[in-house]
Amino acid sequence: MKQFAKMAIPYAIWAAVMIAIPMLMILLYAITESGNGVVTLKFTLDNFIYFLTDPALLRVLMTSFKIAIYTTILCILIGYPAAYFMSKLNEKYRTTVLLLITLPTWINMLVRTYAWMGMLQVDGLFAQILGMLGIGDVQLIGTEGAVIFVMVYNFLPFMILQIYTSLSKMDKSYLEAASDLGANKVQSFWRVTFPLSLPGVISGITLVFLPAASTFQISQLIGQGSVPMIGNLIESFFLKTGDWNKGSAISLIMAVIIMFSMYLAKKVDKDPSTRGRI
């Protein structure tokens, strides 16, 4: 036991330096007055009040959650059938399909986003395809639809992999039992397969919704400044206006919202023994 404790010391030091100390600094900046990048130790809650009472900032927050919700819903609608299809494939083909789905994630997300920015431009590939179809000029870049589209592209593999993992690990004897009890394929899916796959769905929601709500690269590049999100707001306070105190306060508010969302996801994910009852 002592040997394992000693082995954990380097990780504890790393966690303290890279996680605990930065979080403590953010907390101090959030609850103190502005001091040009220096912690003043003059405590105040004005930084939180500023964010929670400014209509423009609250609209940015609502836009962030709206886009994140749409992205998550689309990822579920696309990802669940894809994961279900993969779980039914022969092992030989399943590996190939899994490789094709994960292949885009091998490329940095920023590089992928730049690629989509080029294709969604006024004279880009998508505009040319729409022109050939006779639809005419359609504004793609700089719209919420384009931001959601690129977010779905970037985060969809995480949803598929989580659901696929739950489906592939599911005990097939449950389906055999459902068939013996007279359930058809549709009934077996809704009363056995889907409930047992809910842990994967919830994990996928967590991996999609949280980064979608806090991202700033996609909204900045694809939104072209017309679709500001909370991540862009935090970046602006830290890097442009230099107001680290307000930026830290908004970061803490987002951290609380994210932790609360994870708590709700855990509450929804009920005891596995209660799932799949016929």
pLDDT at 273: 44
pLDDT at 191: 85
pLDDT tens by residue, 2-41: 666 677 777 778 777 777 888 888 888 888 887 665 666 7
* pLDDT band at residue 274 using 50, 70 and 90 as cut-offs: very low
Alpha-carbon gap, residue 224 to 200, rounded angstroms: 34
Domain count, the chain: 1
Mean pLDDT of the residues in the chain: 83
For residue 4, tell me if it sits in a domain.
Answer: no
pLDDT attached to residue 186:
84
Residue 51 resides in a domain: no
Determine, yes or no, domain membership for 178: yes
The answer to the question of residue 94 being in a domain is: yes
Q: At what angle do helices 244-268 and 46-53 cross, to 10 degrees?
A: 70
> Is residue 269 in some structural domain?
no
DSSP 70-135: HHHHHHHHHHHHHHHHHHHS-HHHHHHHHHHHHGGGGS-HHHHHHHHHHHTSTTSHHHHHHHHTT-
The fraction of the chain above a pLDDT of 90, given in percent, is 17
Note whether residue 104 is domain-resident: yes
Tokens of 252: 């803490």
State pLDDT tens for residues 194-244: 888 888 999 899 889 988 988 888 888 888 878 888 888 888 888 888 888
At 187, the pLDDT band (50, 70, 90 cuts) reads confident
Q: How far is CA 7 from the centre of its chain?
A: 33
Global pTM value: 0.83
167-183 as b/e, with b when 16 or more CB fall inside 10 Å? Answer: beebeeebbeebeeeeb
Q: Each residue of 118-141: pLDDT tens digit?
A: 888 877 777 777 777 777 667 778
CA atoms within 13 A on the CB side of 64: 25
CATH of residue 67: 1.10.3720.10
Give a three-class secondary structure readout of 198-260: HHHHHHHHHHHHHHHHHCCHHHHHCCCCCCCCHHHHHHHHHHHCCCHHHHHHHHHHHHHHHHH
Domain extent for 198: 57-242
* 16 within a domain of the structure (yes/no): no
Instruction: Decide if 226 is inside a domain.
Output: yes
